[in-house]
Structure 1
Amino acid sequence: MGNSFGKIFKISTFGESHGKGLGVIIDGCPAGLAIDEEFIRTEMQRRKPGQSKITTQRKEEDEFQLLSGVFEGKSTGTPIGMVIMNTDQKSKDYGHIADKFRPSHADYTYHEKYGVRDYRGGGRSSARETAARVAGGAVAKLLLKHFGIDIKAYVSQVGHLKLDKSYQELDLSKIEDNILRCPDTKKAEEMIDYIDSIRKSRDTVGGVVSCVVTGAPAGLGEPVFDRLHAELGKAMLSINAVKGFEYGSGFEGVSMRGSEHNDVFYTDESGKTRTKTNHSGGIQGGISNGEDIYFKVAFKPVATIMIDQESVNEVGEAVTVSGKGRHDPCVVPRAVPIVEAMAALVLADYLLISRTNKL
């Protein structure tokens, strides 16, 4: 029913924004992997609400409980279960829209699909659900680290303000140096001020998260329908508020000629096959070629704004929807660890698949 992701390294998530809590079950994690709980906690802290003036002021520490699948600090090969309890719900903030459809939210579509919906913060459609993904993705990251694969995402655009540098030109060690998670300090300050001005005007704004995967070996991915970039696209488009995904040269590549766009092969000093350029984004024919995998994810403005909007209720009557509650003026600072988590889940899955399809 759309609550699970992956084939071998597989997660299933549960829980709602204003329910008792959320959780994830990770199935397929190999036995013997060192499970660093402090690392998982750090990843959860990167996504949690209430981090700064440019994020929602809901106060959730997002502490997790490890229930199963780990013994003496290592995975046992059995399902790993984790729960994250909700502690700062204010469901009364949503009583005014119990029978109203908020513009651009999932209220109407959930009502049409199920005939019932949890209106408190959007229930299962809330971005709060991604806390469980980050927990599962943290374990995937630990597996990838074991094989020398690293994933880093950062904010590269907010509204019309764009970071006009490639990831190779940036010091990605500075991603966590500011509340926006943009490695360019000067541009980050400009973007932060812009988001704060949007917040003060009771509105919201969108942005872009860029991501790069280094250390991935050649050969990850499957032909035709299960191409690596197709699965990455699915993973990213499953994240709340995502409206676009592009990898490699993306849409800019259409303005290039084949003679410009082709990534020419050569053999490096160690005898490894490489490409002189990487317009392919590390993926050719749906399979990784050993170069860096890089992509961008576009996030729309948060649908809940603190400005009255026209809408209808469940019986089709015209109503006014008033924005209330605690919401992000821009999702991208907290989306960074979510993008990394979903990329890690895809790469971990394909890494395990690649180890089963040949001698």
Structure 2
Amino acid sequence: MYNNTFGNIFRLTSFGESHGKAIGGVIDGFPAGISIDEDFIQHELDRRRPGQSALTTARKEADKVEFLSGIYEGVSTGCPIGFVIWNTNQHSNDYDNMKDVFRPSHADYTYTQKYGVRDHRGGGRSSARETIARVVGGALAKLALKQLGVTVTAFTSQVGIYKLDKDYTHYDLSVAEENPVRCPDPEMAKQMGDYIYNIKGEGDTVGGVISCVVKGCPIGLGQPVFGKLHAALGNAMLSINAAKGFEYGQGFGSMNLKGSQQNDLFYNDNGHIALRTNRSGGIQGGISNGEDIYFRVAFKPVATVLMEQPTVDVNGRETVLQARGRHDACVLPRAVPIVEAMTAMTLLDYYLLDRASRLF
């Protein structure tokens, strides 16, 4: 298995399986001299961890990060940053009835066909537990981006049939962390939460959309051909478990507009070039233009449902599977910090690429 490394200059290589001893990673290319707030990094992990509300899986994992290298007296040294999060609360027996069957819409079948072997306990390497390493990498990237004045904020904008009816500029995004759904509209958050709770009671699952907003991004990140910034963000988002779609700016929502209606017009704002609108989502020609970058990521319903479903075993015999164990009914609340993490790592990587490509 290869392609366990993300990034070009800022590079995260993750390792570990959901029911192995640990999940961890090595970060290469992180700048020296960045103050490392380990409490902030742990807080980011706490936002992703299971068992944080009645809407998420009941599994309890402390998810405490232990740094092994690359940090001295609270400051990055420029050396590779190694870290590990020990797995402490696996219930591997919950997966015994899945050992010889293929779970619908999981990676079981494709892994078996490709590698000839798979870890049936929670999906092994294909488990979303691998994203712990991404959150650590993203938290470090956020600390570096903070010095550039760049902020990354994601939030739940749709759960099933319930969705926000205005764009992000109409909401106070800081209140999203005040409810378990992570939606910036408290009234809509309650409806979303009630819906997830009811779906969970049925043993079923539901999907939705996470929106993300980047403020303070410098002009010039990205390349105009194969290194487009929006393509890099799309690649990062679609590498997240259960992600099914990506759109930036007005995306598919502007397909009914004419070019004259879609274009962002320039004007002179007291000697500075500015835009009257930001339908492009902060990226034009594959390069950041200094406006807010905003995009949306669609997540499918969690594939593990706690009800009987027909399937086949490893020998092709038809059978029925009823999953057991502790699973999320909706991935969105816990995926919000993952979306932020992948965004932050992409932006820091492309900032470092931009610096490396310029002589002055």
Task: Tell me which amino acid in the other structure corresponds to 2:293.
Answer: I
Partner of residue 199, structure 1 = 200
Equivalent residue of 1:225, what SS?
coil
Partner of residue 329, structure 1 = 329
Equivalent residue of 2:226, what SS?
helix
**Within 1, Cα distance between the matches of 2:126 and 2:251?**
29
Task: Tell me which amino acid in the other structure corresponds to 1:179.
Answer: P
How far off its partner does 1:272 sit? 3.0
Equivalent residue of 2:51, what SS?
coil
Task: Tell me which amino acid in the other structure corresponds to 2:231.
Answer: A
Task: Tell me which amino acid in the other structure corresponds to 1:144.
Answer: L
**Within 1, Cα distance between the matches of 2:5 and 2:252?**
30
Partner of residue 257, structure 1 = 258
Partner of residue 287, structure 1 = 287
Partner of residue 300, structure 1 = 300
**Within 2, Cα distance between the matches of 1:42 and 1:268?**
40
Equivalent residue of 1:224, what SS?
coil
Partner of residue 179, structure 2 = 178
Quick check: 1:9–1:28 contact (8 Å CA) kept in 2? yes
Quick check: 2:102–2:312 contact (8 Å CA) kept in 1? yes
Partner of residue 125, structure 1 = 126
Could you report, residue by residue, the CA deviation over 1:134-192 in whole angstroms, capped at 9, with x for unpaired residues? 01110001010010000000000000111112110000110110001001000000000
**Within 2, Cα distance between the matches of 1:137 and 1:250?**
25
% same residue: 61
**Within 2, Cα distance between the matches of 1:140 and 1:262?**
32
How far off its partner does 1:131 sit? 0.6
Quick check: 1:274–1:290 contact (8 Å CA) kept in 2? no
Partner of residue 234, structure 2 = 233
Quick check: 1:222–1:287 contact (8 Å CA) kept in 2? yes
Q: Does 1:82 align with 2:83?
A: yes
How far off its partner does 1:283 sit? 0.3
Partner of residue 247, structure 1 = 248
Q: Which structure 2 segments of 5+ residues have no match?
A: none
Quick check: 1:274–1:291 contact (8 Å CA) kept in 2? no
**Within 2, Cα distance between the matches of 1:198 and 1:273?**
50
Quick check: 2:230–2:286 contact (8 Å CA) kept in 1? yes
Q: Which structure 1 segments of 5+ residues have no match?
A: none
**Within 1, Cα distance between the matches of 2:125 and 2:274?**
44
Q: CA RMSD in A?
A: 0.7
Q: Does 1:42 align with 2:43?
A: yes
Give me the TM-score of the superposition, normalised by structure 1.
0.99
Equivalent residue of 1:355, what SS?
helix
Task: Tell me which amino acid in the other structure corresponds to 2:237.
Answer: M
Partner of residue 273, structure 1 = 273
How far off its partner does 1:354 sit? 1.1
How far off its partner does 1:97 sit? 0.7
**Within 1, Cα distance between the matches of 2:6 and 2:206?**
29
Equivalent residue of 1:190, what SS?
helix
**Within 1, Cα distance between the matches of 2:191 and 2:12?**
38
Task: Tell me which amino acid in the other structure corresponds to 1:299.
Answer: F
Partner of residue 338, structure 2 = 338
Give me the TM-score of the superposition, normalised by structure 2.
0.99
